[in-house]
Chain A
Amino acid sequence: MLTANMSEHKTEVPYGTLDLLILKTLDTMGPMHGYRIARRIEQVAENLLRLNQGSIYPALIRLEQQGWIRTQWGVSETKRKVKFYSLTRAGSKQLTVEVANWERAKALVARFLEAES
């Protein structure tokens, strides 16, 4: 009941930013598995974000195919074999690109909003 109420104030993950969130997470935290990445994003967002944890997996496979992250097999806290994801060199370069893109987009939107008001 409580969760349902709260979720009304949560926002969806802004379009196209999930990649940026994952890359930034891996950049600050180092190698980690899927669940930890999802939890970390939720924690940083401090319940401001409504994230379907499952949606990070399609994003992860795409980032891997682009060569921005790599995977290694490791063992989880529940003693299960899981994939650990970490940033590649190309990935950290991509992160700066994405951050710059985001800054530009934010500035652009901000300028429009200022002009309107």
Chain B
Amino acid sequence: MKLRWAAARLVALFRKRNLDRELEDEVRAHLELAERDAIARGLTPEEARQAAQRSFGGIEQMKEDHRDRRSVRWMENLARDFRYGVASLARDPGFAAVTIGLLALGIGANTAMFSIVDAVLLKPLPFPEPERMVRVWETLPNSLGNATTTLTFLDWKRQDTIFEALSVELPTRAAVATGGDPARFPGNLVSADYFQVFGVKPRIGRTFAPGEDQPGAAPVVVLSYSFWQTRFGGDPGVLKRDLALDGEPHRIIGVLPAGSFDRDEAVFWKPLIFAPDQLNRGPHWLVVVGRLRAGVSLEQARAKMTVLRASLAGVMPPWKKDWGFAVDPFAQELVGDTLRRSIYLAFGAVLMVLLIACANVANLALAKGATRRKEMALRAALGASRGRLIGQLLTESLVLCLLGGVAGVAVAYLLLHAAAPLVAASLPFTADLSLDLRVLGFAAAAAMAVLILAGLLPSLRTSFSKLSNSLNQAARGSSGSSAAVRRTIVVGEVAVSVVLICGAALLFKSLAQLQQVDAGVRIDHVITMSADLPSTAYPSAESAARFYEAVVQRLRAVPGVEQASVSLDLPLQGVHYGEGMSLPGVKGFLVVRVKLVDSRYFGTLQIPVESGRGIEGRDRAGAPPVMVVNRELARHMSGSFAMANPVGRIVNIDLPGYGPIPESTANVRIVGVIRDERTGELHAPQDLVAYVPLAQVPRQDIKLVVRTRSEPAAVMSGIREAVRQVDPRLPLADVRTMEQVKERSMLWAKQPTWVVGAFAGVAALLAALGLYGVLAHAVTEQRREIGIRMALGARPGDVVSHTLRSAFSMLVVGLAVGLAGAFALTRVMKSLLFKVSALDPIALAVACLLMTLIGILAAWIPASRAARVDPMTVLRDEG
């Protein structure tokens, strides 16, 4: 009943005009009938009309009563306040613009950031039953996940009580010749049930059938939607066509739906078919993704895999006896710890910016409220209730928040558009950054929170302070308690800004530390690129070795090139191969990274040989196998194998074969020790690296490293031409200077640093704005006082220092509170800091100094204005 009544009233509100007209009609009919009856009783028409109206009573009063009864009073009030609010904002466009701008900035930045948080951390993966998707690893004794071997993968794949589907995922590249320059495209080699793992149905055609990853199956390929659109114009006829990958035709059997897989690097997927001699437990080359059988929990899967590992103990090499198997949720692996922390950190920072923006808006509203006290007092005197006054002020805030929210969504849209290309590489491919309903809902919630934070306090203050006093008060005179509230708000703003600036200072210091890590190589004037020697053109190890020799000769002949080399891995990007190394006749082994480089690699990157010799031209195929170790490995060998000097010793190690040829164990002589280069990321511990001559162990997926005399970009066309002369059909990819490689390796640290830094900058500016506002207001209100003091002999310097002291007192309290907050909060970023304590005194001191400087700058303008007050003018004005 209640509900029905409320609904009827709401309907009445919107049908106001209709209902008024209906009532009008009813009244007219009523009067007519009354007149007719009166005439029937024998009255004249004129008397009858008067009698009818008399017995009806007051028509207008009845109408008002009728409206009151049928409608919702507060809604009509709200609508009126809303119109009034818009009008009052239009009267003060400066205030409105500043406020809406602040809110748009705060809400916009938060909305954009939330869209990232939502896409990466909150939304479930865009696949059916994502909680069943897992990564399966072998694990090192330190429980770090590692890729697995062919036979171990096949052992896993037989566990059909655990896994519904299990697939390898091996990134590859292939030259796709479709007219013009050959270009290499990234793809994935996968098992036939790969798309069952993701639960993805093709947009057209089909995905792989069981058996298509077995030897003898016809070559097939599945394309991504975006590749299908850009390369084939979305032609459904592609299903009857072949795609040449490295010159080998593959039948196109299907195209994936648009979405997640378009953000993946790969544009094509083809089955990985194991060659007979790959069926071993040698190279750890397979990364595995799977879908648990329905009803199998993660714990059950882990337990069963542990049992399986124990049963395989007999076939595993002895150096892996402490290794295990691990099953991890796919989502967890997709979003690394560092990314998760970075995103939370950035979100926390942007929330603080919103808080400061709110504080500024509240401050503005308070200042405006002070000037409106008389209006409010007058309205109260005329009978408006306090509730109505608060309601009116809140409605004005609501108008501001709505406009700010709408502008904020526009800001978020622009921010996302600008930022998406920059951050996309750091986000998982499943993250779809868009302003969907959830994000808009967040924006609305943020606007509401702002309304409560920034609107409620000023309206309460304005309407509850003694209104009668305001009426009695003379035009001048500051409202003391309101000023105190405004100063407190500014102190809060300064405190929050200090927390942010401290966080940013710590991150910047950490980044500087990271940048100072010696890469161990000279990175200036070095350009790198990658190439993949297709098996069709380079079927044998010899043909590949001939290519390395020829391409380096050509490159060195290019004008402007100082040195050129070929290797498998670049510095800072990690080393592909890891193997167990042992000494004949000595117990124990070391797990080392095996880096394949040619004879000029150390020279090109200027890595000095510390003892023995480097890799030389004579270390070619057929010559005695040799290796060079880095200082770190030499140090570990002296520890593990108790040898003073490793040079000259012979070690046992597995080395990869060419193409599908499996790895084989070799006895290799250590001929030298080189100084450490940073093979992995700058913050990671130094790898133990064994350098093996590429000429003795050739591979197809190589990097070219070229040192130039002048700007590398100027030499690039010569480099391309040189490679073309050796192999006109070999495409080059990933052309980057070594400096760019270094930049990329630091992306994980740079992005949060700059994001938090930017937010801290905005926060400091907003706090400065708040400080400026309060001081400027105070100076305006105290002009008379200042004038009198100057008339009595105060010098301009005294006046300036008076204002600055007031600013300083706010700053000092803000700094103290902010530092306390920083002590409590910077702890959460510990894991993002490199060689910097979360309480680093220098960073915190710099942060405080910065805030103080910004604060004093903000105070200087009102202070100097105070000093320019002309006592004569002021005293005459107000006298």
What is the interface of chain A, defined by CB distance below 8 A to chain B?
Answer: 33-36, 38-39, 51-55, 57-59, 61-62, 64-67, 76-78, 80-83, 90
Contact A80 B29 (CB under 8 A): yes
A residues in contact with B1, CB < 8 Å: 66-67, 90
Interface residues of B in 591-614 (CB under 8 A from A): none
From B5, B23, B34, B65, contact of A67 by CB (8 A): B5
Return 29 A-B CB contacts under 8 Å, by A number: A33-B30, A34-B29, A35-B30, A36-B33, A38-B30, A52-B57, A52-B58, A53-B34, A54-B27, A54-B59, A55-B57, A57-B62, A58-B65, A58-B70, A61-B70, A62-B69, A62-B70, A65-B4, A65-B70, A76-B29, A77-B33, A78-B32, A78-B33, A80-B28, A80-B32, A81-B25, A81-B29, A82-B25, A90-B1
CA distance A34 to B27 in the complex (A): 9
CA distance A61 to B23 in the complex (A): 10
B residues in contact with A78, CB < 8 Å: 29, 32-33, 36
Chain A nearest Cβ from B6, distance in angstroms: 9
Q: Tell whether B388 is near chain A: CB-to-CB under 8 Å.
A: no
Excluding A33-B29, A55-B57, 15 further A-B contacts by CB distance (< 8 Å) are A34-B29, A36-B33, A52-B55, A52-B56, A54-B59, A57-B23, A58-B68, A59-B69, A61-B66, A62-B70, A65-B69, A66-B5, A81-B29, A82-B26, A90-B1
Chain B nearest Cβ from A82, distance in angstroms: 4
CA distance A4 to B634 in the complex (A): 123
CB-CB under 8 A for A35 and B62, given A65-B12, A82-B25: no
CA distance A33 to B31 in the complex (A): 12
Contact B57 A54 (CB under 8 A): yes
Contact B59 A58 (CB under 8 A): no
CB-CB under 8 A for A34 and B30, given A61-B69, A61-B70, A67-B1: yes
CA distance A76 to B25 in the complex (A): 12
Chain A nearest Cβ from B813, distance in angstroms: 57
CA distance A61 to B68 in the complex (A): 10
Q: Among the interface residues B27, B30, B57, which one has the most CB atoms of the partner chain A within 10 A? A: B30
Q: Tell whether B724 is near chain A: CB-to-CB under 8 Å.
A: no
Contact A35 B34 (CB under 8 A): yes
Interface residues of B in 16-40 (CB under 8 A from A): 22-23, 25-30, 32-34, 36-37
Contact A54 B58 (CB under 8 A): yes
Residue on B nearest A42 in the bound complex, by CB: B55
A residues in contact with B525, CB < 8 Å: none
A residues in contact with B27, CB < 8 Å: 54, 57
CA distance A103 to B222 in the complex (A): 85
B residues in contact with A82, CB < 8 Å: 25-26, 29
Residue on B nearest A82 in the bound complex, by CB: B29
Q: Tell whether B666 is near chain A: CB-to-CB under 8 Å.
A: no
Closest 7 A/B residue pairs (Cβ)? A52-B57, A54-B62, A65-B8, A35-B33, A54-B57, A58-B65, A80-B29
Q: Tell whether B9 is near chain A: CB-to-CB under 8 Å.
A: yes
B residues contacting the other copy or chain, number (CB 8 A): 30
Interface residues of B in 50-76 (CB under 8 A from A): 55-59, 62, 65-66, 68-70
A residues in contact with B9, CB < 8 Å: 65
A residues in contact with B57, CB < 8 Å: 52-55
Contact B30 A53 (CB under 8 A): yes
CA distance A54 to B457 in the complex (A): 46
A residues in contact with B25, CB < 8 Å: 80-82
B residues in contact with A55, CB < 8 Å: 57, 62, 65
Contact B5 A83 (CB under 8 A): no
A residues in contact with B8, CB < 8 Å: 64-65, 67
CB-CB under 8 A for A58 and B29, given A52-B57, A83-B22: no
What is the interface of chain B, defined by CB distance below 8 A to chain A?
Answer: 1, 4-5, 8-9, 12, 22-23, 25-30, 32-34, 36-37, 55-59, 62, 65-66, 68-70
Chain B nearest Cβ from A55, distance in angstroms: 6
CA distance A59 to B23 in the complex (A): 13
CA distance A65 to B7 in the complex (A): 9
CA distance A51 to B34 in the complex (A): 14
CA distance A34 to B33 in the complex (A): 10
B residues in contact with A33, CB < 8 Å: 26, 29-30
From A53, A61, A65, A66, contact of B56 by CB (8 A): A53
B residues in contact with A59, CB < 8 Å: 69
CA distance A35 to B31 in the complex (A): 8
CA distance A51 to B56 in the complex (A): 8
B residues in contact with A80, CB < 8 Å: 25, 28-29, 32
CA distance A52 to B65 in the complex (A): 13
A residues in contact with B62, CB < 8 Å: 52, 54-55, 57-58
Contact B26 A34 (CB under 8 A): yes
Residue on B nearest A76 in the bound complex, by CB: B29
A residues in contact with B4, CB < 8 Å: 65-67
CA distance A66 to B70 in the complex (A): 10
A residues in contact with B55, CB < 8 Å: 51-53
From A39, A51, A52, A58, contact of B66 by CB (8 A): A58
CA distance A83 to B30 in the complex (A): 11
Chain A nearest Cβ from B371, distance in angstroms: 42
CA distance A33 to B26 in the complex (A): 9
Residue on A nearest B36 in the bound complex, by CB: A78
Chain A nearest Cβ from B617, distance in angstroms: 100
Residue on A nearest B52 in the bound complex, by CB: A53
Contact B56 A77 (CB under 8 A): no
B residues in contact with A76, CB < 8 Å: 29, 32-33
Chain B nearest Cβ from A38, distance in angstroms: 8
CA distance A52 to B30 in the complex (A): 12
B residues in contact with A39, CB < 8 Å: 37
Residue on A nearest B30 in the bound complex, by CB: A35
A residues in contact with B36, CB < 8 Å: 77-78
CA distance A64 to B26 in the complex (A): 15
CA distance A81 to B59 in the complex (A): 20
B residues in contact with A35, CB < 8 Å: 29-30, 33-34
Q: Among the interface residues B4, B33, B66, which one has the most CB atoms of the partner chain A within 10 A? A: B33
Chain B nearest Cβ from A68, distance in angstroms: 10
Chain B nearest Cβ from A95, distance in angstroms: 15
A residues in contact with B66, CB < 8 Å: 57-58, 61
CA distance A36 to B68 in the complex (A): 24
Chain B nearest Cβ from A78, distance in angstroms: 5
CA distance A83 to B34 in the complex (A): 16
B residues in contact with A62, CB < 8 Å: 69-70
Chain B nearest Cβ from A114, distance in angstroms: 36
B residues in contact with A57, CB < 8 Å: 23, 26-27, 62, 66
Contact A83 B26 (CB under 8 A): yes
A residues in contact with B70, CB < 8 Å: 58, 61-62, 65
A residues in contact with B12, CB < 8 Å: 65
CB-CB under 8 A for A58 and B26, given A52-B57, A53-B57, A76-B33: no
Residue on A nearest B34 in the bound complex, by CB: A35
B residues in contact with A64, CB < 8 Å: 8
Residue on B nearest A51 in the bound complex, by CB: B55
CA distance A57 to B4 in the complex (A): 20
CA distance A49 to B25 in the complex (A): 26
